[in-house]
């Protein structure tokens, strides 16, 4: 399933998981349903990882011996061997996600529901998840995946449902639906972002500006020039450690690289809840943008990777005035979607660098 934030994708998965009842109509399910929705759903945080595996097996109607037969494979796939007997409340968000996916995929559900499995975890584990979902699908079972990674959807899915405001826009072969979704979003992408502060009780990104080398607002840049992304956000004083992250994606949604502000917070550089930071990009011989359109996702999260606020679907375009060449989107560079570069982060309210 594809669609912008708020289109109803996660709500539909909750209906299919029998967590939320439909307001009208009905759902016919044939077989056991395994679901991976919000991180931690279906887990008991006082129990250990091992105990939670058996708990989930019992919920699916499996006998203890059946779970035991799959236990080693679940633990190895999740890569949490050292922490399997630690209470879940001490797990990071990424560890919970890995265990949750491993449990859902290995307990042999007839229908596997997955919501944004690629949003958490490192790239290697994301690829493992995609491979495992492919195995489940090839074994004759059903996988329903919600993701903003259109390349993953195209590679994995036979058919795609496009939702908008809770209504079906299109249900067809993957490539046809993705093309329609991209064409619709081409007109919806934003170049600047401003949002009035809604509440002083919650963290919120309030302004994002893309600036060219002269400091003027622009979302069309030359690949040979420097540019910056200025972000203003509100952070209640009780949040002592936060991370601001900018995810650069190809226009079809494939993550390319991440620019991440190192741990910061009110104790580090400001006694004010209002923050103003700038990511400064300077092209080098080793790294340049291609002449193409890109999408940006900006997120503010705690040091434990719990999301506080996210702005999605910003657009950035590059021109090549001097016919420079690059291989970011060709050859091996296209496959290396974990590319990380180290831009400068300027703290405007204190005028120094992290």
Report yes or no: 56 and 103 within 8 Å, Cβ to Cβ: yes
pLDDT of 341 strictly over 80: no
Alpha-carbon distances of 47 from 195, 264, 306, 318, rounded to whole Å: 40, 32, 21, 50
**What pTM does this model have?**
0.56
Predicted confidence (pLDDT) at residue 139 exceeds the cutoff of 80: yes
Cα maximum dimension of the chain: 67
Sequence-distant (≥ 6) Cβ neighbours of residue 139 within 8 angstroms: none
Looking at the predicted structure, is the pLDDT value of residue 330 above 60? no
- How many whole angstroms separate alpha carbon 342 and alpha carbon 228? 13
pLDDT reported for residue 75: 93
DSSP 82: G
Q: What percent of the chain has pLDDT over 90?
A: 19
Sign of the CA dihedral 91, 94, 95, 96? positive
CB 79 within 8 A of CB 98: yes
Cβ-contact 353, 345 below 8 angstroms: yes
- So what's the pLDDT on residue 171? 96
Closest listed residue to residue 18, CA positions, set 37, 40, 1: 37
In DSSP terms, 314 is beta-bridged to: 190, 296
**Mean pLDDT within 317-322:** 68
User: What phi and psi, each to the nearest 5 degrees, are found at residue 328?
Assistant: -60, -40
Q: For residue 262, what pLDDT band results from cuts at 50, 70 and 90?
A: low
Quick: pLDDT tens for 165-194: 999 999 999 888 887 887 776 555 556 788
List, for residues 6-44, the tens digit of each pLDDT value.
889 989 999 998 888 999 999 999 988 888 776 556 788
Q: How confident is the model at residue 302 (pLDDT cuts 50, 70, 90)?
A: confident
pLDDT band at 125 (very low <50, low <70, confident <90, very high): confident
Angle between helices 93-106 and 49-59 (to 10 degrees): 40
pLDDT at residue 338, as a whole number:
34
When mean pLDDT is compared across 9-23, 48-62, 142-156, 338-352, the lowest value belongs to 338-352
Q: What is the pLDDT of residue 173?
A: 92
Per-chain mean pLDDT for the chain: 78
58 pLDDT exceeds 80? Answer: yes
Structure-block tokens of residue 304: 């434990």
Q: In the beta sheet, which residues pair with residue 182?
A: none
Give the residue with greater pLDDT, 321 vs 229. 229
Given this chain, do its domains 9-186 and 193-353 carry the same CATH topology? no
CA–CA separation, 303 vs 240, rounded Å?
A: 9
Q: Which CATH class for the 9-186 domain? A: alpha beta
Give the pLDDT confidence score for residue 239 in this predicted structure.
78
pLDDT of amino acid 268: 44
Domain residue extents for the chain: 9-186, 193-353
pLDDT at 172 (0 to 100): 95
Q: Which tens digit of pLDDT belongs to each residue from 62-113? A: 788 988 999 999 999 988 899 999 999 998 877 888 888 888 888 778 898 8
Average the pLDDT over 198-208 and give the result.
89
In this predicted structure, the answer to whether residue 127 has a pLDDT above a threshold of 90 is no
The CATH class that applies to domain 193-353 reads mainly beta
């Amino acid at each position: 399933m594809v669609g912008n934030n708020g289109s109803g994708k996660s709500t539909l998965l909750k209906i299919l998981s029998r967590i939320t009842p439909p307001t009208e109509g009905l759902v016919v399910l044939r077989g056991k349903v395994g679901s991976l929705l919000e991180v931690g759903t279906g887990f008991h945080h006082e129990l250990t990882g091992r105990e939670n595996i058996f708990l989930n097996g019992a919920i699916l109607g499996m006998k203890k011996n059946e779970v035991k037969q799959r236990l080693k494979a679940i633990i190895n796939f999740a890569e949490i061997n050292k922490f399997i007997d630690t209470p879940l409340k001490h797990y990071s968000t990424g560890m919970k996600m890995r265990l949750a996916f491993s449990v859902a995929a290995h307990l042999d559900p007839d229908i596997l529901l997955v919501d944004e499995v690629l949003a958490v975890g490192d790239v290697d584990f994301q690829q493992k998840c995609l491979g495992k979902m492919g195995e489940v699908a090839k074994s004759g079972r059903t996988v329903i995946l919600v993701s903003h990674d259109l390349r993953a959807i195209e590679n994995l899915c036979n058919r795609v449902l496009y939702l908008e405001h809770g209504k079906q826009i299109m249900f067809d072969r993957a490539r046809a639906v993705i093309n329609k979704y991209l064409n619709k979003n081409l007109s919806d992408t934003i170049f600047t972002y401003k949002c009035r502060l809604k509440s002083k009780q919650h963290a919120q990104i309030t302004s994002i500006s893309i600036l060219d080398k002269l400091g003027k607002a622009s979302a069309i840049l030359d690949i040979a020039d420097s540019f910056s992304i200025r972000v203003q956000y509100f952070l209640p004083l009780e949040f002592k450690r936060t991370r601001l992250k900018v995810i650069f994606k190809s226009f079809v949604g494939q993550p390319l690289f991440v620019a991440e502000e190192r741990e910061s917070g009110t104790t580090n550089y400001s006694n004010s809840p209002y923050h103003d930071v700038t990511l400064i990009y300077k092209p080098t011989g080793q790294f340049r943008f291609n002449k193409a359109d890109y999408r940006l996702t900006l997120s503010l999260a705690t040091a434990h990777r719990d999301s506080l606020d996210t702005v999605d679907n910003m657009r950035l375009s590059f021109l090549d005035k001097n016919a420079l060449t690059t291989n970011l989107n060709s050859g091996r560079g296209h496959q290396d979607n974990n590319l990380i570069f180290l831009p400068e982060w300027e703290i405007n309210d204190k005028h120094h660098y992290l």
